Chains A and B, each alone.
Chain A
């Protein structure tokens, strides 16, 4: 089981979260940070942060057309693809946009990692490598393990 769950509970402010996406322009960070937490009237940094992650995750999920991912997973996977295509540099202002350009969508979908294919498990029964019974009997006797006679006694 995977107990190391995604917990963006470090009190990171939205600007720092945006920093992890490779966005360096202060004005852009300010604009996006406001957009991310606009409707969140809370002093709780963790809550604000979670809201920001969720919104970014939902946006990435839409871009990647992956409704099978949770918002947190979509954020982490989408972020990796976003920085891999240099989204911040090549498409400034695209983040959280309602209609991202097609070339951006094509590139980012192409950069989504797929470390492994969907699993299709096979059963692999453990084989028996015991020795022939006569030999096993000799080994038991030599080792002093109980024989049928001693067990009966």
Chain B
């Protein structure tokens, strides 16, 4: 088992939660009182009250995160482990576990290299008999579909996994990933005791997979165990910053979260094991009433599924010290923002679920924390805007020394600079201290230090990450605020696949997407310089970050800068310094998968050139008896488009998909005809439909 043996029992959850609550409230109360002292005269009452309110909301959230991280640090130092989860002394694999890899037009080289590496790991560990793999495809790009079929048979061939590695493609990706998993449960749920849900960029060691299954067996009251993933394989500077930050600070935050949530934990959507029977019985998600973006299918299903499991009495745990759980990160800030837009919509949708009946209070807290993680940006933005407005108002208005009522003494306008500076320092400290503790925790062990490339590189990486993330923070704040406003205004975000292997962002593209940030930064600098020059030094990180948004995005997305940093050992992580076997194997395998998945050829051209693949595709169609038919009109249009167009490039995605279902057409290709000749042959054999009236 991957757990260290030398651990101590952590305090009871109630005591920890009460302590966290008291500390958060007390810190917020004290900070709010101090904040009141800044403006004692309360001349601009509405603005000041608004500022106070925004400050208290933001600060309370910061305080909760801060004290949670402090608890995490103490937990790491004390080697605490919650008493409720039984850790088996040795692996025990009596149950059957399905490893699910849901994919949606993802790069098959990465997916299948990871699957092969994991399968080989389980085989080497002698545990493969307890596991079966499912590739659950929701891909709607025809090229991806054919590439996945080719890769699936090749994977079966390479690891002799026939009958243990399965491929299922859904005709329609109803309810996105949650619908994909639910479809698995409905069709094969009773075959398995547990399912380990992965993401397309997930990778787990055999030890971690075995440990998760063993933990489930040893804890029959547990419905779900989350293994927090570590970010790996980042190549750009932005990716490396994310990777370094999550690796260095992540343990402190994860340990803190695990400490107070214990068996009332959360689910992050992947790299987790789930008891299938419990999930099937209690996690059938309803469609929320109303239209999008708040109604319809639940986008961020994971938090809700954890809440439903908990509502049904199942325990939900996170095991931060499991190890061997990995994922990748978007390579650029733009890709990160695209993902954030979806997550933002999904989390804000939870406002509809937050007050659902009989949810456990901790589940409500998880949902609220998800919502607040996005609302925090517009709240901080509003705080800044009101703060600047207040400053400008004070400068533009002469103070009233003698108000209308009778008084012996003039009322001097008061702005307590010392208190303001003191509060600002407290806020900055609460933001920085958890990170610093993460760094200190790494520095206090020689093996951990070496993992980050040694003391100098660790401190260099820490300072680099701190500097660049400070500049990136206002960009993200503005982006997230924009997302929140657009979602509140009813705009629906799409579900597009992410590019996790960017070649960089061009200047023109960066300007198109973030030029308004730079312009806003310049305008704000001019405004502050004219109206409240004393504030400008306080706002340097914000103003610089916004003004330099375009160059920051271009530079951090540049793979060469990322490679340069890697060559210097800057922002190195233990997984980069000494990669685990499964990571190395998956990386080495990627090249070997490229010829299998093809190089972007049109699906029909690929089938025409490879009669084995075509025969396989036709055979696969016979297994999809539950698919509803392509209607005759769509088929007719697709055949006509190809027959008349004379080339597969004229086909739309839908037309190509229709032809990939068209067995007479595909049989004609199998008999030796090229796609155009096959389309003409079937049109001759089957007359075109009459035009619609």
Residue of A nearest to B307 (CB): A129
The segment from B27-35, B351-359, B411-419, B556-564 that touches chain A is B351-359
Determine which of B355, B626, B685 lies in contact with A11 in the assembled complex, contact meaning CB atoms within 8 Å: B685
Given contacts A3-B628, A9-B664, A113-B619, contact A123 B672 (CB under 8 A): no
The residues of A that contact B670 with a CB separation of less than 8 Å are 19-20
The answer to whether A130 and B168 have CB atoms under 8 Å apart is no
Looking at A8, A80, A121, the one whose CB has the most chain B CB atoms below 10 A away is A80
The answer to whether A115 and B168 have CB atoms under 8 Å apart is yes
Determine which of A12, A127, A130 lies in contact with B668 in the assembled complex, contact meaning CB atoms within 8 Å: A12
Given contacts A80-B615, A113-B619, contact A127 B162 (CB under 8 A): no
B contact face: mostly helix, strand, loop, or mixed = helix
The answer to whether B671 and A16 have CB atoms under 8 Å apart is yes
The answer to whether B355 and A131 have CB atoms under 8 Å apart is yes
The residues of B that contact A82 with a CB separation of less than 8 Å are 615
Q: Does B609 contact A (CB under 8 A)?
A: no
The answer to whether A2 and B283 have CB atoms under 8 Å apart is no
The residues of A that contact B187 with a CB separation of less than 8 Å are 116, 119-121
Q: Does A32 contact B (CB under 8 A)?
A: no
The residues of A that contact B672 with a CB separation of less than 8 Å are 16, 19-20
14 cross-chain CB contacts under 8 A: A16-B671, A19-B671, A20-B667, A22-B611, A76-B619, A76-B622, A83-B611, A83-B612, A115-B167, A116-B188, A120-B187, A120-B191, A122-B189, A130-B357
Determine which of A16, A116, A120, A135 lies in contact with B623 in the assembled complex, contact meaning CB atoms within 8 Å: A116
Q: Smallest distance from the beta carbon of B132 to chain A beta carbons, Å?
A: 7
Q: Does B681 contact A (CB under 8 A)?
A: yes
Which B147-189 residues have a C-beta within 8 angstroms of A? 152-153, 162-163, 166-168, 182, 185-189
Q: Does B277 contact A (CB under 8 A)?
A: yes
Determine which of B168, B285, B621, B629 lies in contact with A116 in the assembled complex, contact meaning CB atoms within 8 Å: B168
Determine which of A2, A5, A125, A130 lies in contact with B624 in the assembled complex, contact meaning CB atoms within 8 Å: A2
The answer to whether A84 and B612 have CB atoms under 8 Å apart is yes
The answer to whether A9 and B685 have CB atoms under 8 Å apart is yes
The answer to whether B276 and A122 have CB atoms under 8 Å apart is yes
The residues of B that contact A11 with a CB separation of less than 8 Å are 685
Q: Does A56 contact B (CB under 8 A)?
A: no
The answer to whether A119 and B182 have CB atoms under 8 Å apart is no
Residue of A nearest to B661 (CB): A4
A-B contact count (CB 8 A): 165
The answer to whether A4 and B662 have CB atoms under 8 Å apart is yes
Given contacts A10-B668, A126-B284, contact A84 B188 (CB under 8 A): no
Given contacts A9-B685, A127-B285, contact A122 B629 (CB under 8 A): no
The answer to whether A124 and B280 have CB atoms under 8 Å apart is yes
The residues of A that contact B628 with a CB separation of less than 8 Å are 1-3
How many Å lie between the Cα of A135 and that of B359 in the bound state? 14
Q: Smallest distance from the beta carbon of A108 to chain B beta carbons, Å?
A: 12
The answer to whether A113 and B357 have CB atoms under 8 Å apart is no
> What range describes how many residues of B lie at the interface?
35 or more
Q: Does A117 contact B (CB under 8 A)?
A: yes
Determine which of A10, A17, A119, A128 lies in contact with B188 in the assembled complex, contact meaning CB atoms within 8 Å: A119
Which A83-127 residues have a C-beta within 8 angstroms of B? 83-84, 110-117, 119-127
Q: Smallest distance from the beta carbon of A15 to chain B beta carbons, Å?
A: 9
The answer to whether A79 and B619 have CB atoms under 8 Å apart is yes
How many Å lie between the Cα of A2 and that of B285 in the bound state? 27
The answer to whether B283 and A8 have CB atoms under 8 Å apart is no
Determine which of A9, A81, A114, A122 lies in contact with B166 in the assembled complex, contact meaning CB atoms within 8 Å: A114
The answer to whether A8 and B621 have CB atoms under 8 Å apart is no
Given contacts A2-B624, A120-B191, contact A10 B616 (CB under 8 A): no
Looking at B283, B285, B622, the one whose CB has the most chain A CB atoms below 10 A away is B622
Q: Does A132 contact B (CB under 8 A)?
A: yes
Given contacts A12-B667, A16-B672, contact A120 B662 (CB under 8 A): no
Given contacts A8-B667, A10-B667, contact A122 B618 (CB under 8 A): no
The answer to whether A129 and B356 have CB atoms under 8 Å apart is yes
Given contacts A2-B629, A125-B284, A127-B284, contact A83 B615 (CB under 8 A): yes
The residues of B that contact A117 with a CB separation of less than 8 Å are 132, 163, 166, 188, 191
Q: Does A54 contact B (CB under 8 A)?
A: no
How many Å lie between the Cα of A114 and that of B156 in the bound state? 10
The answer to whether B190 and A120 have CB atoms under 8 Å apart is yes
The answer to whether A128 and B286 have CB atoms under 8 Å apart is yes
Q: Does A150 contact B (CB under 8 A)?
A: no
Given contacts A6-B663, A12-B671, contact A129 B619 (CB under 8 A): no
The residues of A that contact B663 with a CB separation of less than 8 Å are 4-7
Residue of B nearest to A22 (CB): B611
Determine which of A73, A79, A127 lies in contact with B308 in the assembled complex, contact meaning CB atoms within 8 Å: A127
Q: Does B36 contact A (CB under 8 A)?
A: no
Q: Does B627 contact A (CB under 8 A)?
A: yes
Q: Does B288 contact A (CB under 8 A)?
A: yes
Q: Does B18 contact A (CB under 8 A)?
A: no
Residue of B nearest to A81 (CB): B619
Q: Does B444 contact A (CB under 8 A)?
A: no
Determine which of B152, B166, B168, B286 lies in contact with A126 in the assembled complex, contact meaning CB atoms within 8 Å: B286
The answer to whether B283 and A115 have CB atoms under 8 Å apart is no
The answer to whether A121 and B356 have CB atoms under 8 Å apart is no
The residues of A that contact B621 with a CB separation of less than 8 Å are 4, 76
Contact with B along A117-153 (1 / 0, CB 8 A): 1011111111111111101000000000000000000
Residue of B nearest to A2 (CB): B625
Q: Smallest distance from the beta carbon of A118 to chain B beta carbons, Å?
A: 8
Q: Does B360 contact A (CB under 8 A)?
A: no
Q: Does A77 contact B (CB under 8 A)?
A: yes
How many Å lie between the Cα of A9 and that of B664 in the bound state? 7
Instruction: Knowing that A110-B162, A129-B286 touch, tell me 16 more A-B residue pairs with CB under 8 angstroms.
Output: A2-B625, A22-B611, A22-B612, A77-B619, A80-B615, A81-B619, A84-B615, A116-B623, A117-B191, A120-B188, A124-B284, A126-B285, A128-B286, A129-B304, A131-B357, A132-B356
Q: Does B431 contact A (CB under 8 A)?
A: no
How many Å lie between the Cα of A128 and that of B285 in the bound state? 8
The answer to whether B163 and A114 have CB atoms under 8 Å apart is yes
The residues of A that contact B304 with a CB separation of less than 8 Å are 129
The residues of B that contact A84 with a CB separation of less than 8 Å are 153, 612, 615-616
Q: Does B630 contact A (CB under 8 A)?
A: yes
How many Å lie between the Cα of A57 and that of B670 in the bound state? 16
Q: Does B527 contact A (CB under 8 A)?
A: no
